[in-house]
Structure 1
Amino acid sequence: MSPSPSSSQPPSPSLFDVHTIETPEQTRLQFQIAGIGSRFLALAIDTLIQIAASVAGLFILSITGSQLFGVFNYIPQQWWTAAIIAFNFVLYYAYFTVFEIVWRGQTPGKRIIGIRVIKESGRPLAPAETIGRNLLRIVDQLPGIYAVGLVAAMLNGQSKRLGDYVAGSIVIRERKQESMWQGLDEIEPPSGALAGHRLSPGHVALIETFAVRRSELPAELRGQMAHQILLKIQAAGEVPPGLSGSPEAMLDELLRAHRASASYL
């Protein structure tokens, strides 16, 4: 997948900047770009969580310190300094990296606010890209309060900080899955509604291409693509009345019925 060219039709007006992707499946996907405000709120929540974790660690250390005091006396002072620096580094940078890898572009703060980091192509970031993106926080936060990152975000239409440029990422606002299904017929299907149903060759190829690639897509992007493909087929009059369910399930049913009518499964 690749971002649509500048000559493509502009997205519909929105309160948020929109990132548009033209996919090989001939569908257009639009993502609302998360603004500086929502990203700052997510960062504030994550920072509070980190502070709470740090306080909890100091509390545990203060409780167990008396038992370990004899051991601590044998540790050189420079080792203590190195250990404290390493702990703070891991707590801050590993926090963002680990959560964004495990939660596919989200930290607790991002999840609460409803935003997510993805590639400009719509795919999730690879672990190496996530690591690089978060290591650039060292530069983005200079000389304090993310001044470099804030200036960079204000100078581009997608609120990108330097780490986003390195990883080729954007931060988007997540939409509820239900909103993707608006405009689809959802009537209870009568018995045998798809018996003998056929699709045009182009639409068969479209669904099959999506079916091959969908396992590597994040849930929201996968749902959007299924919705867009189904709307395209529905506009051509090839979705029989009464078909219902999620867009992806409906595409599976249409393809299954077509193959059965063509005498191959």
Structure 2
Amino acid sequence: MHEDHLDIKTPEFVSIQFQIAGLGSRSAAFIIDQLLLMAFNIVTVILLFFVLDGMSKMEFIMIENSLPIAITIIGLFVVNGGYFFAFEFFSGGRTLGKKLMGIRVIQENGHSITLLSSFIRNLMRIIDSLPTAYFLGIIMIFFHSKHKRLGDLVAGTIVVHERKAKRKKKSPIEAEMNNRGLHIDDLTIDQWTLKSLGKKEWKLVSTYVSRFLQIPLAERNQLTEQIAELLFPKIGLDPAGKTTTELENTLLVLYLVLCEEWEFEL
């Protein structure tokens, strides 16, 4: 029988359960991604046709067998080959299809997918697609106890359904953020910078937020300034000239941003 759930123990001996994505949701996500890539390819070829159609025969010969064709072929190869790798790494394990289906790729230990695991996982698509129409991958997902294809086995990854937080009431820190009018969109960080913030930075921010309402005001102000001096340069911000309240607000919003990246971190 298939194991529809994955239980992971945190260092605090708390069990976190994930619902494993099966063949149906994964196939639907894959089809959506393929349709999006197909649409991109068709539009690109149509644009190429109009470019070539606007050239005279002499211009076509002068650019050595049509440079636009070569550029288009290379571009399509890069986009189609790198689509899954780029989206899964930079978008928290979610391609556009996976996001629409509410599933994502994580590592088996519950951590976010890494650059290496994303590369290995998607490199193995070449084998999973054999002999045709993704046959090997479909067979493995259907029969494997954790719905894994070969790429998942080699990369140590697993596809799970998004975990929806169910809270009856807001926590004190959430209430504090609401009172301050803070929102995740108040801080924009590009994906490359976000990925450069590792487990160390996440633990620092999450610990700061967890203690935010408990520590004395004087100690909190000092801690806020110290953490801001450490983290702000890493996200392209200058703490100089900002009030303590402004520093606090930025760190609290940074916590919200990092939560999206590290929500599976144990």
Pairs within 5 Å for 1:13-24? 17-24=4-11
The answer to whether the 8 A contact 2:5-2:17 is kept is yes
1:102 aligns to what?
A: 90
Structure 2 counterpart SS, 1:170: strand
The answer to whether the 8 A contact 2:94-2:105 is kept is yes
Matched, 1:34 2:14: no
1:81 to partner: Cα distance = 8.8
The answer to whether the 8 A contact 2:88-2:95 is kept is yes
CA distance in 2, matches of 1:85, 1:144: 22
1:165 aligns to what?
A: 153
Relative to the length of structure 1, the TM-score reads 0.60
The answer to whether the 8 A contact 2:9-2:15 is kept is yes
Q: Which region of structure 1 is more displaced relative to structure 2, 148-157 or 44-53?
A: 148-157
The answer to whether the 8 A contact 2:3-2:146 is kept is no
2:32 aligns to what?
A: 45
Structure 1 counterpart SS, 2:140: helix
Describe the shift of the 1:144–1:83 C-alpha distance in structure 2 as closer, same or farther (beyond 3 A).
farther
2:228 aligns to what?
A: none
Describe the shift of the 1:68–1:135 C-alpha distance in structure 2 as closer, same or farther (beyond 3 A).
farther
The answer to whether the 8 A contact 2:94-2:104 is kept is yes
1:157 to partner: Cα distance = 1.4
Match of 2:53 among 37, 41, 66: 66
2:104 aligns to what?
A: 116
CA distance in 1, matches of 2:154, 2:22: 19
Q: Deviations over 1:165-214 (max 9, x none)?
A: 1210000100223x2x359888xx9xxxxxxxxxxxxxxxxxxxxxx958
Identity of matched residues, %: 34
CA distance in 1, matches of 2:101, 2:107: 19
1:152 aligns to what?
A: 140
The answer to whether the 8 A contact 2:122-2:151 is kept is yes
Structure 2 counterpart SS, 1:256: coil
Matched, 1:25 2:12: yes
The structure carrying a bigger helix percent of its residues is 2
Describe the shift of the 1:68–1:167 C-alpha distance in structure 2 as closer, same or farther (beyond 3 A).
farther
Relative to the length of structure 2, the TM-score reads 0.60
Aligned residues: 191
Structure 2 counterpart SS, 1:122: coil
Match of 1:252 among 189, 192, 211: 211
Compute the RMSD of aligned alpha carbons.
3.6
The answer to whether the 8 A contact 2:3-2:145 is kept is no
Letter in 2 for 1:174: E
Matched, 1:132 2:91: no
Q: What residue ranges of structure 1 are gaps of 5+ in the alignment? A: 1-14, 190-211, 227-247
2:64 aligns to what?
A: 75
The answer to whether the 8 A contact 1:16-1:32 is kept is no
CA distance in 1, matches of 2:168, 2:15: 16
The answer to whether the 8 A contact 1:33-1:173 is kept is yes
1:128 to partner: Cα distance = 2.1
Describe the shift of the 1:157–1:214 C-alpha distance in structure 2 as closer, same or farther (beyond 3 A).
farther
Letter in 1 for 2:142: M
Matched, 1:89 2:77: yes
